[in-house]
Every structure is written in structure tokens, then in C-alpha cells.
Structure 1
Amino acid sequence: MDERVRLAGELYERAIFVGYEGGLAQADRELDAAEAELMLARGKVLHGQSMATRGEDPRELALFERALELYRSVGDERGQGEAFFWIGCFHQVIRNDNDAAVEALTLSRVLATKTGDNLTLSYALRHLGIAEHKAGHLDEARALLEESTRLRRELNLLPGVAANLVGLTYIASAQGRVDDARALADEAAALAGSCGARKVLDQVTEARSGL
């Protein structure tokens, strides 16, 4: 059982049997926080399914927006930053709407920076970099992906580093930095292979085909 759900049950009993003032309101907040994480987790599962089927499940965005609402209600800025990321990711990846994505991703970046959530920050920077790449702003895209990669190296998120290196391979190729592109692809392949990230290896193969 989620710790917050268990605590809510204890607070209920204290309120009913002991008369603990504020217990039910606190229990409600604990359940809101637990529900927020559940909504986020369900939304992520639907996101993965949508990517696999290349379709859109309308429940996905609703779940992320509900998570954001709940995180706001309990004053959890770290959670809000993560929810904003997934809202932005939905708009970018599922709906191919970079304008809507950038708005949410920028808010995610601000909140993740404020709360020290470097994992979420690395994701927000990556997808902001993707948006800049799509817009043809290669220098900006490179800077964002390089910063995301730095954070992911610090977090030892090797599949995420490899995925970013694939993006940097495309950018280097578009900028005419062919030797850099090949070196980035080689490192991406080595990292992806070392951690069993087979989908990233497929992406490396595709990126290399254009060099």
C-alpha cells in the first residue's frame, strides 16, 4: 500500500475516534498527492502505448493535466515540473505540436531548475532541443542537448545519454561536422550496447545511414 494512502487511513481513524483536528483535511492532501503520482504513472503508460501504435489516446493528456492540478493543490512544485514535462512531451511527440509543447516544456524547465530535479530537467532540455532542431535552430538545439547530456551523465542515465548522442549526431551532420557526427554515433552505439538499449541502437543505425 502507498504510504500516503496508509497514512490517510490512520488520520481518518484518529479524527473519528480521537477527534484529531485537521486530520481529515490532511488525509485529503495525502490522497491528492498519491493520486497525482498515479495519474502521472497511468499517463506515462498510455504515452508508451501511443508511441507503439502511432495513435493517440485522449485519456493521456487528461491524466497529465489532472496530475498537474493535484500537484498544484498540494503545493508540490517538483511534481508540477514533471507534469508539465509530460504535457509538453504529449504535444510534441503525439500531436506534433511544437508551439504547445515548448510552452509546457519551458515551464517544466523552470520548475525543475527551481526544485533541483535534474532528471526532469534533462528531459525538458532534451525536448526543447528537439523543438529547436525542428525549427532549424541548430546551434540552440545543440546547446540544449549537450546540457541535457551533461546532466544525464551525472545521473548515470546511460540509455538517456545514448539517445541524446543520436540527436547530437543528426545536428552535427546538418552542420557539416561529419567527423563529429561519426564520433557521436560511435559513442552512442557503445553506450546503448553496454546497457542493452536496443531501440537506441536502432536509432544509431538509422542516423549512421545518413552520414
Structure 2
Amino acid sequence: MTTTTSTTVDFPELLAAARELSLAGRWDRALRLLDATTPATSEDHALHRLAAAEAALQSDWFGGTDLAAERIAAVPRDSGWDLGFLRLRHDYFRLLRTDGTFRPGPAGKDPEALARIRRDALDLREGAPDKVRRGWAAMYLGLIADNLFAERTAAPAHYEAALHAGESGGDDLLVREALRHLGDHDHDGGDHDSARARWQRATALGARAGMVPGMLTQLMLLAVLARDTGDEAGARALATEIARWAGAIGAGPVHEQAAGFLAGADPTAPPSEG
């Protein structure tokens, strides 16, 4: 038998709890918590819908679900920059992932959609209400250049801008994201020491934020580096544990990446020029 009760909680604390559950890979729990909540004001309602859309997008990215489109559509249209950024991230995810598989590069993608997502990111950067949001828009300009257009030389400047914004604005997750991708460029350039330093710091920042699936993808990069520097046994041991953890928490795409690595694939291979 299910018992329903009503209580009052501090709304910002509830949103923070839902966000932490989502970062930890407990997307279903985060969404059920939010769905069981009735916001008191129209402003709270918008924040509530944004939080649910964010949790759904995290679930789609790391868990292989298809929840974000419906949740984003439910966000009030006057939610401003934050709604625009959610839409941008979802569009990026859909362009990057084709038929359930992440496929970088412009090949097979609609040129109009590619041009539109870059314009949207530029608009978000120019219209950002603060430096951290501007940094997140810069981060996605880099990701779009890197992973959708295969413009490897253009991306790092955007990542550097994001890193600066995250450092000065105190956003650990933005710093982590920038370090992750700057380290990727270091790795491709053969600078293993710089890649290791960036990736190790990104791992620590992800841990501090409680980002469990993101921690696993970050450890995957350290497994790549172990293989590249001759420690195949260490690389395989780490990837085996990543696969085990990812399977246990239902992070299917992360599990697939680890399994691919164990079969010899390089998850850091640059996107094809198309």
C-alpha cells in the first residue's frame, strides 16, 4: 500500500538534492523526487521544470534513455537563457548520437542543423547573463567545433575561455569539462604529461561534485593514457572496473565505451574529417 503525505521543504534545497542525485547517476530517483513536488510560485515552477529537463538530459547522455525532449518541451517558454542552453545541449547530443551510437564529425549530418547549432551557441555566449554561463556557451562552441565540424584547431581557444570562466566563477563542473577536453588535445599532440595533469585534476573535480558517471568517463581517459605509455595491464584493469561500475549503475553508453576499449578501440580518436 502506498501512503501519500504532504510536507513543506525548502525549494532550493530540493532542487539541489535532485541535481546531486542526477549527477550521481540516480536519474530516475531525481525525476521521481521532482515529479512528487508541487512548486508554490510560477518562478519555482520554471526552475522545477528546468531541473527535471536537466536530469532527463543527463539520463539520456549517460544512461542511453530518451527522456529529455519531452521534459524540455514542458519548460515554460519564458525561461530565458537557461532554456536556450538546455535546447542547445540537447541538439548537440542528438547531432552527435546517431542510431544509438556517438558519431563525431560532419559526415551524414544536416548542414543546416550544423550551421544553426553554431549560431545558437554564439547567441548564447553573447547573451549570457553572467561569466559562468558565458563560459558554458564557450565550452559548447568548442565542443561543436571539435565534435560536429571536426575543426580541431579552433576548439581549444573556446575551452580556454571556458576554463577561465569556470576558475574565476567557481564552477567546478565547467572547469572539469574544459580540462577534460584540453587534455584530449594535449594527448593528441603527444604531450602526455600535460594530458595526465589535466585529466587527473578533472577526475578530482568530478569526484568533488559527486559526478559518478562522469567520473567513469574521466577514468576511461586515464586508462587510454596508461595504454599509450605502455602500461597495458594497468589500462585493462582500470577499464574492466569502469565497465563493471557502469553496468552496475545502468550507464550503458559508458559500459559500451569501456568494452570497446578492452577490445582495442581508442575512445579519444579524433573525429573524421568526413
Q: Report the TM-score range of the alignment, normalised by the length of the smaller protein.
A: 0.7 to 0.9
Q: Report which stretch shifted further, 178-187 or 140-149.
A: 178-187
If asked which structure has higher relative contact order (CA below 8 Å, sep 6+), I would say 2
Contact 2:175 2:202 in 1 (8 A): yes
User: What is the match of residue 194 of structure 1?
Assistant: 248
Q: Report which stretch shifted further, 176-185 or 153-162.
A: 176-185
TM-score (norm 1): 0.79
Runs of 5+ in structure 2 lacking a partner? Answer: 1-40, 47-77, 104-108, 266-274
Seq. identity, %: 27
User: What is the match of residue 71 of structure 2?
Assistant: none
In the TM superposition, 1:33-48 aligns within 5 A as: 34-48=79-93
User: What is the match of residue 224 of structure 2?
Assistant: 170
Runs of 5+ in structure 1 lacking a partner? Answer: 7-32
What letter corresponds to residue 198 of structure 1 in structure 2?
Answer: G
User: What is the match of residue 52 of structure 1?
Assistant: 97
**Deviation string, structure 1 residues 70-125 (Cα, Å, up to 9, x no partner):** 11xx4x01111111111111111112222211000001001101111001111111
User: What is the match of residue 60 of structure 2?
Assistant: none
Q: Distance in 2 between matches of 1:184 and 1:90?
A: 29
**1:138: how far off?**
1.8
Q: Report which stretch shifted further, 188-197 or 115-124.
A: 188-197
User: What is the match of residue 3 of structure 1?
Assistant: 43
**Deviation string, structure 1 residues 143-183 (Cα, Å, up to 9, x no partner):** 21111111111111111011111121111101101232123
- Structure 1 residues 113, 2: CA separation in 2 closer, same or farther (over 3 Å shift)? farther
What letter corresponds to residue 44 of structure 1 in structure 2?
Answer: R
Contact 2:92 2:144 in 1 (8 A): yes
TM-score (norm 2): 0.62
**Within the alignment, does 1:61 sit opposite 2:118 as a pair?**
yes
**Deviation string, structure 1 residues 5-59 (Cα, Å, up to 9, x no partner):** 99xxxxxxxxxxxxxxxxxxxxxxxxxx943222211111110111123425221
Match of 2:166, SS state, is helix
- Structure 1 residues 185, 59: CA separation in 2 closer, same or farther (over 3 Å shift)? same
Bigger helix share: 1
What letter corresponds to residue 62 of structure 1 in structure 2?
Answer: R
Q: What is the number of residues matched between the two proteins?
A: 182
**CA-atom RMSD, angstroms?**
2.2
Q: Report which stretch shifted further, 50-59 or 82-91.
A: 50-59
Q: Distance in 2 between matches of 1:183 and 1:4?
A: 46
Contact 2:240 2:262 in 1 (8 A): no
* Matching residue within 127, 131, 147 for 1:93: 147
Contact 2:163 2:175 in 1 (8 A): yes
Match of 2:127, SS state, is helix
**Bigger Cα Rg:** 1
User: What is the match of residue 263 of structure 2?
Assistant: 209
What letter corresponds to residue 43 of structure 2 in structure 1?
Answer: E
In the TM superposition, 1:75-90 aligns within 5 A as: 76-90=130-144
Runs of 4+ in 1 over 6 A off after TM superposition: none
